[in-house]
Amino acid sequence: MRKNIVAGNWKMNLNYSEAKQLMLKLLEYKKNNKTNCEVWIAPPSLYLTTAKDTFDNGEIGVFSQDISEFRSGAYTGETSVEMISSIGINGSLVSHSERRQFHGETDSQANVKIKNLLDKNLTPIYCNGENLEQRKSGKYLDVVKNQTETALFNLSADEIQKVVIAYEPVWAIGTGETASADQAQEVHAFIRNLIAEKYEKEVADEISILYGGSVKPDNAKEIFSKPDVDGGLIGGAALKIEDFSKIIEGFN
């Protein structure tokens, strides 16, 4: 079901004490403020149990940053969907741009991970988007089309409605560059139209599509105001409660 979401991807940051303090600050903020969006976090896997225990009322969703495409076995260092399910985690990011860049992940692998999550009734946050060369060449919509179709288009209509999509232009992550609100809206609308053509408009309208390219307190409101932008997948700004809370308030 389509909803407004602000999700914080903590990446490989914060020691345990710092992470715990940030969780407690976020919990305090959520208790004392009405938010017009769902709030989710994806801390490092080592902290998932602590996050789940901290937010035991379920008001803040807790997500893994990745899962293995394999269900179990001799895959040292990997985390399975069964493992995160068994400790009550809500879902996982899938194919973040850094997983693609540094670990060579493909959309075919993403498709397997997404199916694994759906089989356990968990929420996949599927990440896609173009790099700078693809953006400058004008082929960025073709890139997003291929990514979306490969990762998602063998799902049923019921299944795809349970997926959250995060469009993250790689050229706008950690570079100081930010896509304009209109650029974000263009690609979000394109993704939604792709899904409408494959399934139906009613199906596409049920899917939350988040923007994941350097959302900051000073641009969140404008980006979130676009009709096909349903929130943000936030990186660095999610590590400071002052910034993250202001981004959440972009929906107020």
- The binding site comprises 9-11, 174, 214, 235-236
CB 135 within 8 A of CB 175: no
7 forms beta bridges with 40, 233
Active-site residue, from 38, 69, 96, 130: 96
If DSSP codes are grouped into helix, strand and coil, which group holds residue 46? helix
- Please give the span between the terminal C-alpha atoms of the chain, in angstroms, as a whole number: 20
Q: Is 168 a catalytic residue?
A: yes
Q: Is 96 a catalytic residue?
A: yes
Annotated binding site for substrate: 9-11, 174, 214, 235-236
Active-site residue, from 69, 105, 130, 168: 168
169 token code pair: 């232009």
CB 111 within 8 A of CB 78: no
Q: How far is the C-alpha of 156 from the C-alpha of 121, rounded, in Å? A: 14
246 token code pair: 């202001």
CB 6 within 8 A of CB 37: yes
Sign of CA dihedral 43, 45, 50, 56: positive
Active site residues: 96, 168
